Structure 1
Amino acid sequence: MKFQIFLTKHTNQITLITGILIVLGELSKYALNFTLGYQVVLAVASIIAAVPIAVRAFSALRNKVFSIELLVSIAVIGAFIIGEFNESAIVTFLFLFGSYLESKTLQKTRTAIKGLTDMSPTTATLVTDTGTEEVDVDDVDEGDVVLVKTGGQVPVDGQVVEGSGYLNEASITGESRQINKQKDDSVYSGTIVENGYIKVKATQVGDDTTFAKIIELVEEAQDTKSKAEKFIDRFAQYYTPAVIVFAAIVYAFSLDFRLAITVLVLGCPGALVIGAPVSNVAGIGNGAKRGILIKGGEVIDTFSKVDTLVFDKTGTLTEGKTAVTTMHQYTDNVAEQLGLAAAIEGVSDHPLGQAIITYADQHKTTAAPTLDDTETVKGQGICAKVAGKTVVIGNQKMMSAHHIDLTSQQATDLNGLQAAGQSTVIMAVDGKVQLMFGIADTIRPEVKDSLAALKAQGIKRTIMLTGDNQLTAEAVAKELNLDEVHANLLPEEKVDYVKQLKAEGNTVAFIGDGINDSPSIATADIGIAMGSGTDVAIDTSDVVLMQSSFPALVHAHGLAKKTVLNTRENIFIAIATVAFLLIGLVFGYIYMASGMFVHEASILVVIFNAMRLIRFKTKFDKRQPATTTAAVTA
């Protein structure tokens, strides 16, 4: 065991020594004409290089696994028997050198993980009764308060209790835009305070933080095998002994020992074995750098086959917060009346009222007089006395209760807002309507174009399932050109719809906020969470979009399809290489050393082909403005 560890640790040095000995052997033969020295040096090189290969083969055999190393080991023994020390030396050197290049290249595809790990905070400035103290991040407990100054890293998940600042959350969301954080806002471990200072009360520490979960999730994902990889693993179990049997048959019929040994060397399925995993690692790494967490190769494989996308509405297709989308005015004093509406709504915390206040803050208004008296009517609105005038603001029932009639134009405007699925608020002063607001949960600005891009990538059906009312749901569906919409649904009814779609033979992805829709996310073939790093989103879904962004959804789907295609390309390259080598062997233009060179070259080809995924962008990505950056740089 210790010897095997020693060999593993020093394989690179063994490879280098073997290469140097091969060069010295060639020099002794061609420069010094010293044939005996040539034979001895190459024999020594063969033995040195064959030892780690043979040890790996024996270790695999103990576990009842027929590995590639077994083929090479038998080939080396055969080469020694026929005295071809140059062949055995070159074969073993190329095999070790190929493994070295393979490991180095694979490391490059895992830069997303390395970068994330390097970004993990290691220390924290703990706020104590006597001041502050620098401690190891593992010594911070839930409920502790930590101080983070400009340029510092937030060491915990928590809530801002003092101070404010602009934070770079690229390590969590992949979003380069700095986010302003103030008291009571949530912050994540691993994010950086670009400007300002904050004191954060820890709610999650150590391995429980969102940042730690992301690292763990991506590491596990890169080790999770796809269907192609599982197939290749099973294939390799039968392939290696089949090659040995085939080589024996070749020898039995030809009595050509060199030919049989060459079959063993050329039969190594190295490119086939490495092709699928390196594609998945590169694809998952690409997603991780963009704040897209894909839970493994099997998820990629299934996601690439999705033909039906099912969406939640609130917080997914829409922003999840109400806003004034339309305001009809029936007065010349708009600034004054809008200021008055905001002042009256200030006495209420109703979401519709807050939307009007926000709208007023964004537009020119006149300061309202002091409110003399207000009365809130539950489910209808507010009645107020202002400077001797009676102001009524609320819904249509409120107007009817105060015998306020709408003109034909106002009635038409009201019907138009209601037909669009908007909630309406009307304000009347002394019995005359002054303003009418249409308020709705605003659609995410990038959704419509993203859905069109997803259709272009092969999605056949887009369906919305929502607990909202039918009128509002249909308005949103019409705006986004969705294929189907089903409203007034409870969570369990959404699950039933997803099951029905699957039973019809569709491959279904459900996209929700990762909290209310977790049953549907878990039921679908692929569950996609739009929640920004929530625990439920990370635990329940197959894909997590940390930015809650639809362009990220387009990228994730395109990446899955491209990764599967890349895997198939690599498998084709591997099989084509073996076919080329065997045909070359039959027709006599491929020999042991040259064949091994082609074999190792094919491994590099599939690796470099997979590495193209690291920089992959969809056509839709290329049309988007450069508003995001990688969570980590390669």
Structure 2
Amino acid sequence: MNDYKLTQFFKKYHVFDLVILFILIAFFIVSYWYPFLIYVSLLVGCSLISWQVFQQLYKGQISGEIFFILATVVGIASGQERAITVVILVGLFAHYIGHLIEEKAEYALEQLASLVPNTVTVRLDDGTHIIKPIDHIVPGMHVVITTGARVPIDGTIIHGQATLNESALTGESVAVQKTIGDVMYAGTFIEAGSCVCQVSKVGEETFFGYVLQLIAQAQNQKANIVLFTDKVAVIASCVFLVFIILVYVVTGNLYMITTLLVFGSPLELLIATPLTILTAIVACYRQGIVVKTGRALETMAYVNTIFFDKTGTLTFGLPEIVDITIYNSSYSLNEIITLAAIAEKYSGQLFARAVLACARERGLSIDDPQSYKLINGYGIHMIYQNKNYYVGNAPFMTDIQYANADISNMPVCIHDNKLHTSFYLAQQGAILAAICMADAVRPEVAQAIRSLKNLDITPIILSGDRYDTVLSIGSKVGIDTVYAPLLPDQKLYVIEELSNNGRIAAMVGDGINDAPALKKAHVGIAMGAMGMEPAIAAADIVLMTNDLRKIVFIKETCNTMIRIIKQNLFIGLVFTHGIGIILGLLGLVTPIQAALFHAVPDTLIMLNATRLLWKSKKAII
């Protein structure tokens, strides 16, 4: 075992703390022959617990161990040195076990950071290779990555090809093929092949580094339930101290007071609740899901309605032109396609990709427009050859501020007995053509919708497409309620109206076109956002892939998280404190028995809090 691994071993298992604990136990045993050692064991143990209390108080947090300190003072005052030493040793051992369990979640996050190598093989201009530390790498350099190596940077392949495992980002174990021109992300793994990449981002600037920063921020942003339990812990501790004083005034029994103080630590409030949320965040990340705040997970547990965008969410977002109907005979088919392609040249919309692909297939020349204005989720107004042209959906065509054209008598686009999406090209208020497009539904959507319904979720589609088209897709995937056609601001209105009527809603979209709707919903979920930082910025929860079944995983994880928190609160408040205090008042337990009585359920609480880490290793559904 090398020095680094040895250091990690000592750090992971807190070997130093364990050695001290065993020495104190040895002193306690030997104290039966050398009585002065009981005070050494008591003093050192009390000092260790006092240091933990001081650290928590310094951070402005109440510490459960403060009750052990009070119990120690009362125990010494009443001549119970040996009993209180056992209490402290049991408390230290329980704290050690709890710390190990807590560290399990922290260690899972540390492992993520270790996925990026510390050294990189750089190819110099003369073709030679040199190994450099990762912090010496800058954008523009060429790095060599071979079979079995982790990708250390974000960059574009300029030579070679590789089979890449992107599970560190996507949660999917299926490898993908990468070749020249493709982007590789830090933290991914080359299963076969080798390549040379031109560096674009390094360290915290990489997409993987950005995701790690979000996870770290999520740890520091307390969920509402954590803020609530923190307040309850402070109030409960103060009430408990007043209760202890009253018991002493009535009974004057220091032995009983010592026993009761042992039951005072509110571990299930102070540690177990935030630990449960942390493990839920880690469990989600293992499935390729980035959670930006613990509050999002807490809210998701109570979500009863999920809004879905249609294009790119329920469908593949890869539309193809299946029909073009020309309404002005003075324009040829190629002219219609050319005008639509010029309008869409710089839009980056899904419709644009299909139109531009069609133009390229026909070998058409695509000029630049004289002027161009994109109304997101609506349409495009351009000026070309001194004429005003409009390309967009039906609401855009009929809007008096834009095309102001009449489409009421135009036939519905039907192709192979399936309803599809129609976009229109208009000039000076007259429709020139209707372009009919088809976009296939994702195969896993119907299964995901069924699973969500089984979780008492009401799915709803919000779309800017024609009502008949949206309704047809909804019926195929099992969604009965659809709102269409909607402009972006109308989507916000629907979300607000249903939320005001008692719905707790999540919105699922691509994170860019749907950014306002994602922010309006109680929880915004962006899909297929790997490498897309703007999409992540718009959402509360981010799926690195487009697999809607992961939303089922999120919902199940959040439900389990809340259930675990409630279980821990019940075990702690009712069993440990409630029953324990009653037994103490009746004089049925000693301080040593109280320590053991407290330690066992506390350990169970900590184990229960990390249960989601085991679940995250299972299949999505």
> Residues 140, 501 of structure 1: CA spacing in aligned structure 2 closer, same or farther, 3 A cutoff?
farther
Q: Tell me what 2:248 maps to.
A: 251
Deviation at 1:210, TM superposition (A): 1.2
More moved, 210-219 vs 308-317: 210-219
Matched, 1:20 2:26: yes
Matched, 1:237 2:243: no
The correspondence of residues 188-199 of structure 1 with structure 2, limited to 5 A, is 188-199=185-196
Q: Tell me what 2:570 maps to.
A: 572
More moved, 510-519 vs 349-358: 349-358
TM-score under structure 2 length normalisation: 0.77
Q: Distance in 2 between matches of 1:592 and 1:252?
A: 20
Letter in 1 for 2:300: F
The correspondence of residues 173-572 of structure 1 with structure 2, limited to 5 A, is 173-322=170-319, 351=354, 415=414, 417=416, 419-421=418-420, 440-459=438-457, 461-533=458-530, 534-572=532-570
Instruction: Tell me if the contact between 1:270 and 1:599 (Cα under 8 Å) persists in the aligned partners.
Output: no
Segments of 5+ residues of structure 1 without an aligned counterpart are: 1-7, 29-33, 327-348, 359-372, 379-411, 425-436, 625-634
Matched, 1:584 2:587: no
Deviation at 1:528, TM superposition (A): 0.5
Deviation at 1:65, TM superposition (A): 5.4
User: What secondary structure does 2:482 align onto?
Assistant: strand
Letter in 2 for 1:545: L
Deviation at 1:19, TM superposition (A): 1.7
Letter in 1 for 2:126: T
> Residues 375, 112 of structure 1: CA spacing in aligned structure 2 closer, same or farther, 3 A cutoff?
closer
The number of aligned residues is 523
Deviation at 1:306, TM superposition (A): 0.7
Q: Tell me what 1:104 maps to.
A: 100
Deviation at 1:153, TM superposition (A): 2.2
Q: Distance in 1 between matches of 2:304 and 2:30?
A: 60
Instruction: Tell me if the contact between 2:259 and 2:591 (Cα under 8 Å) persists in the aligned partners.
Output: yes
Deviation at 1:143, TM superposition (A): 2.9
Q: Distance in 2 between matches of 1:413 and 1:64?
A: 65
Q: Tell me what 2:111 maps to.
A: 115
TM-score under structure 1 length normalisation: 0.76
RMSD between aligned residues: 3.2
Q: Distance in 1 between matches of 2:554 and 2:417?
A: 36
Matched, 1:80 2:85: no
Deviation at 1:418, TM superposition (A): 5.8
Q: Distance in 2 between matches of 1:375 and 1:233?
A: 66
> Residues 66, 114 of structure 1: CA spacing in aligned structure 2 closer, same or farther, 3 A cutoff?
closer
Q: Distance in 2 between matches of 1:112 and 1:60?
A: 24
Q: Distance in 2 between matches of 1:413 and 1:522?
A: 34
Identity score, percent: 27
Q: Distance in 1 between matches of 2:363 and 2:188?
A: 45
User: What secondary structure does 1:604 align onto?
Assistant: helix
Provide, for residues 578-623 of structure 1, a one-character-per-residue CA deviation record: whole Å limited to 9, x for no partner. Answer: 11111211333222111111111111111111222112269xx769
Instruction: Tell me if the contact between 2:284 and 2:616 (Cα under 8 Å) persists in the aligned partners.
Output: no
> Residues 605, 375 of structure 1: CA spacing in aligned structure 2 closer, same or farther, 3 A cutoff?
closer
Q: Distance in 2 between matches of 1:111 and 1:62?
A: 24
Q: Tell me what 2:139 maps to.
A: 142
Q: Distance in 2 between matches of 1:14 and 1:525?
A: 49
The structure number with the bigger radius of gyration is 1
User: What secondary structure does 2:272 align onto?
Assistant: helix
Instruction: Tell me if the contact between 1:149 and 1:198 (Cα under 8 Å) persists in the aligned partners.
Output: yes
Provide, for residues 204-242 of structure 1, a one-character-per-residue CA deviation record: whole Å limited to 9, x for no partner. Answer: 222011111222222332343222221121122222232
> Residues 416, 540 of structure 1: CA spacing in aligned structure 2 closer, same or farther, 3 A cutoff?
closer
Q: Distance in 1 between matches of 2:454 and 2:321?
A: 33
Letter in 1 for 2:446: K
Provide, for residues 224-268 of structure 1, a one-character-per-residue CA deviation record: whole Å limited to 9, x for no partner. Answer: 322222112112222223222211211111111111222212222
Segments of 5+ residues of structure 2 without an aligned counterpart are: 1-13, 324-351, 368-410, 424-434
Letter in 2 for 1:448: A
Q: Distance in 1 between matches of 2:61 and 2:152?
A: 45
More moved, 493-502 vs 302-311: 493-502
Deviation at 1:423, TM superposition (A): 7.3
Q: Tell me what 1:338 maps to.
A: none
Q: Distance in 2 between matches of 1:413 and 1:261?
A: 82
User: What secondary structure does 1:180 align onto?
Assistant: strand
Q: Tell me what 1:401 maps to.
A: none
Q: Tell me what 2:407 maps to.
A: none
Q: Distance in 1 between matches of 2:70 and 2:224?
A: 31
